[in-house]
């Protein structure tokens, strides 16, 4: 059973915004730590557990909220969240007209999450804020609900698996952590060469997570419509003729194949996020 969200403990600290936890970039990933304002617990006085005696005279120990915070901080640091999204939160200040509905979808999933719940496949063009939303979702379910989660960029996931196979690591050792984790976020689904080996790896991970009733969240630049899916530049050369630039638009189904697409439909709600490229907006604002 997933722990219910605890009533926020407002420490009155501006550094951690009263949560007792600070998340900051640390190299390539985001790292959490217990804020200095919460190091001394007024409840257990450093014992990490609260003790009481029941009606039968038995001594019972219950984990103190300060220890739960430490456990969740450790879980967050194992989630592999990119440093760029250290400040991502499902906070109303990050909701706007473009992401209003999708923001609400992730907020609802985080607040009502139950083990094995149906996941989300978030589609849309680059730069609209897909990774920000899934990063904020991870922060919320890990730090506020104590749900183990793992972030994986699809391209880097394939690279790590290929390296592991080259070192002759057992497949179970490589795949099992991805299957076992309670919530897996796969960012940029479809990125890569899209060769048979990559499709087979994706099929194995998705099928095993589906069979084990694990919640999986995906993002992808490939959508269901040729009008909104990622447009990729192609250059072709015809014999002695000069290179000719063209445009190719794979849909999500084209990219992952009918079998994987069907399984994704079974295990996820498909959601599309459109809008302007936020990176370009941030760049133009910074240059003013």
Which tokens is 220 given? 């992808």
Helices (H), 93-129: 100-112
Which tokens is 48 given? 């990490």
CA distance 141 to 138: 5
Cβ contact 139:88 at 8 Å: yes
**Rg (the chain; Cα; Å):** 22
Task: Kindly provide the residue ranges of all beta strands, DSSP E only, lying in 47-157, ordered along the sequence.
Answer: 49-53, 59-63, 119-123, 149-153
Cβ contact 109:137 at 8 Å: yes
Q: Tell me, what's the pLDDT at 282?
A: 65
Return the percentage of the chain with pLDDT > 70, whole number: 89
* Each residue's pLDDT tens digit, 183-204: 999 999 998 788 888 889 899 9
Which residues, at least 6 apart from 50, have a Cβ–Cβ distance to it below 8 Å? Answer: 43, 44, 61, 62, 63, 64
* Each residue's pLDDT tens digit, 204-232: 999 999 999 999 999 999 999 988 898 88
Q: Taking residues 14-40, what's their average pLDDT?
A: 93
Highest average pLDDT, of 12-16, 59-63, 271-275, comes from 271-275
* Each residue's pLDDT tens digit, 101-154: 999 999 999 999 999 999 999 999 999 999 999 999 999 999 999 999 999 999
Per-residue confidence at 44, pLDDT binned at 50, 70, 90? confident
């Amino acid at each position: 059973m997933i722990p219910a969200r605890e009533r926020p403990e407002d420490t009155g600290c501006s550094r951690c915004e009263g949560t007792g936890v600070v998340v900051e970039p640390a190299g390539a990933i985001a790292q959490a730590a217990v804020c200095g304002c919460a190091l001394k617990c007024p409840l257990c006085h450093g014992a990490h557990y609260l003790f009481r005696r029941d009606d039968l005279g038995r001594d019972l120990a219950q984990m103190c909220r300060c220890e739960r915070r430490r456990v969740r901080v450790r879980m967050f640091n194992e989630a592999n969240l990119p440093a760029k999204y250290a400040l991502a939160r499902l906070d109303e200040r990050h909701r706007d007209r473009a992401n209003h509905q999708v923001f609400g979808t992730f907020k609802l999933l985080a607040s009502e999450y139950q083990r094995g719940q149906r996941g989300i496949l978030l589609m849309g063009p680059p730069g609209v804020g897909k990774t920000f939303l899934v990063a904020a979702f991870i922060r919320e379910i890990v730090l506020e609900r104590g749900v183990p989660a793992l972030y994986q960029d699809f391209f880097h996931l394939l690279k790590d698996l290929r390296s592991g196979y080259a070192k002759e690591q057992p497949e179970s050792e490589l795949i099992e952590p991805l299957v076992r984790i309670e919530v897996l976020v796969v960012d940029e689904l479809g990125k890569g060469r899209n060769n048979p080996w990559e499709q087979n790896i994706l099929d194995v991970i998705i099928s095993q997570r589906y069979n084990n009733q694990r919640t999986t969240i995906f993002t992808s630049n490939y959508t269901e419509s040729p009008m909104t899916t990622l447009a990729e530049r192609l250059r072709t050369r015809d014999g002695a003729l000069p290179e000719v630039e063209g445009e190719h638009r794979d849909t999500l189904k084209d990219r992952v194949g009918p079998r994987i697409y069907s399984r994704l439909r079974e295990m996820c709600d498909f959601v599309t996020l459109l809008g302007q490229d936020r990176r370009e907006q941030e760049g133009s604002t910074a240059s003013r």
